[in-house]
Amino acid sequence: MAKKLRRSAKTVTKNYDENEFYHEPGTIPGTIIISADASPPQIKLIDYTTRDFLRKEITTPEECAPYLDTESISWVEVQGLGNEDILRRLGKVFDLHPLVLEDIVNLVERPKIEEYEDHLVMICRMVVPKERKYGFYSEQVSLVLGKNCLLTVQEEPEHDCLEGVRARICNNKGIIRKRQTDYLAYCLLDAIVDGFFPVLERYGERIEDLEEEVIVNPSRETLQKIYQLRRELLQLRRYIWPQRDAINSLIRDGNELISEEVRIYLRDCYDHAVQVMDMLETYRELATGLMDVYLSAVSNRMNEVMKFLTVMSSIFIPLTFIAGIYGMNFNTDKSPWNMPELNWYWGYASCLALMAVIALLLVFIFWRRGWFQNFSTMNPDSKI
């Protein structure tokens, strides 16, 4: 059976810039498919009460079992999904349904809430800004809430926004060590939702930079940046929209593992999710507006180019007409009407002077009409 599952793992489809994997149609429910490049699991335990605190590395899932039967609060962190055997053993320790393990490993799960007999499963999306100016890391975080224990499973050990919660537990700050496991789950959900704000702050700066670029020097690269921005904002919207609905279901429907007091705290978490949604919708509208501004700037730049060419053509058309007539070279010996100007002593100079006067007169007329006022704003480096 294990060999069969490994063979099926080769058929997993990987999406762009995300670790998203899809099961083949007709796959048996509860099937676990592990990516070949998944990180090996690291298991960490934080066990605490109001007075006592313990933090340690766990080598085998079975080491967690003694802590699950105590009155203390046990938070078991699993970072990495690269070992199917460890995940299945962990499922036995926590008495997880096979579908829960499938949801944990299936990295394209929509954020949701699932209720089981002894535990509550929350699938979330966590985003962390990248070190460079733009972009973000995204990974799935699964929370399994029990009576006195909480299991969290992440894709990778890096790019985490939960360190603040760990520090509060270690330093006994706030009321987190005075509350039950449901309050710990709330703190993690709140940290995950609040993790969207630093990412959105960078996108606000990115939109400001693009606005300046669109107005000053729009190019094809600018258009690509706008498309990329809209795509990433849509991706963030896909993450936070179902996450907001999942938090709302916890508040609305309730659960015996979630106390009434924690449900009040979850309202604040829901408000933050709504605020993230509002910011995303605003940025998406601004990105759409950037596209309109870009098209208007391109059209205006093209109109200025055509206007410049039209003015130059209008100046040289009469000069070309005079040069064409003057250059026909009909023989004046045959008729006095055949280009008598060819025999004038000052004919050549007079023709040039007439051309110059006509050109200057046309330039003066166009200037008085205001046709030259926008030519100074044309950027010669524009790639459009």
Residue 294 pLDDT > 70, yes or no?
Answer: yes
Q: State the pLDDT at residue 298.
A: 77
Q: Return phi, psi of residue 84, to 5°.
A: -65, -40
Q: Please give the Cα distance from 327 to 338 (Å, whole number).
A: 12
Q: In this predicted structure, which of 207-216, 236-245, 263-272, 327-336 has the lowest mean pLDDT?
A: 327-336
Range with the poorest average pLDDT among 41-50, 205-214, 374-383: 374-383
pLDDT for res 334: 67
The amino acid present at 123, given as its one-letter code, is I
Domain ranges of the chain: 1-180, 315-377
Reading the block at residue 260, the tokens are 């009434």
Q: Which CATH number fits domain 1-180: 3.30.460.20, 3.40.50.1220, 3.90.950.20, 3.40.50.1000?
A: 3.30.460.20
- Output the pLDDT for position 23: 65
383 pLDDT above the threshold of 70: no
**For position 375, what pLDDT does the model report?**
55
Q: Tell me what pLDDT residue 310 has.
A: 80
Question: What value does the mean pLDDT take over residues 119-123?
Answer: 92
Handedness of CA 88, 65, 96, 264 (dihedral sign): negative
Residue given tokens 């940046």 in the structure block: 225
Say whether pLDDT at 302 is over 90: no
Tens digit of each residue's pLDDT (9 = 90 or more) over 255-275: 888 999 999 999 999 999 999
The H-or-E segment that residue 152 falls in is strand 149-154
Q: What is d(CA 119, CA 29) in angstroms, rounded to the nearest whole number?
A: 20
The secondary structure of 238-286 as a DSSP string is HHHHHHHHHHHHHHHH-BTTB-HHHHHHHHHHHHHHHHHHHHHHHHHHH
78 band by pLDDT with thresholds 50, 70 and 90: very high
pLDDT for res 382: 46
Alpha-carbon gap, residue 200 to 279, rounded angstroms: 8
pLDDT for the residue 374: 58
**CB contact set of 82 (below 8 Å; sequence gap of 6+):** 34, 35, 38, 39, 40, 41
More confident residue, 113 or 15: 113
The pLDDT confidence band at residue 305, using thresholds 50, 70 and 90, is confident
Query: Are 57 and 44 a contacting pair, CB within 8 Å?
Result: yes
User: What is the chain's percent helix, strand, coil content, to nearest 5?
Assistant: 55, 15, 30
Residue 380's pLDDT band, with cuts at 50, 70 and 90, is very low
CA distance 319 to 322: 5
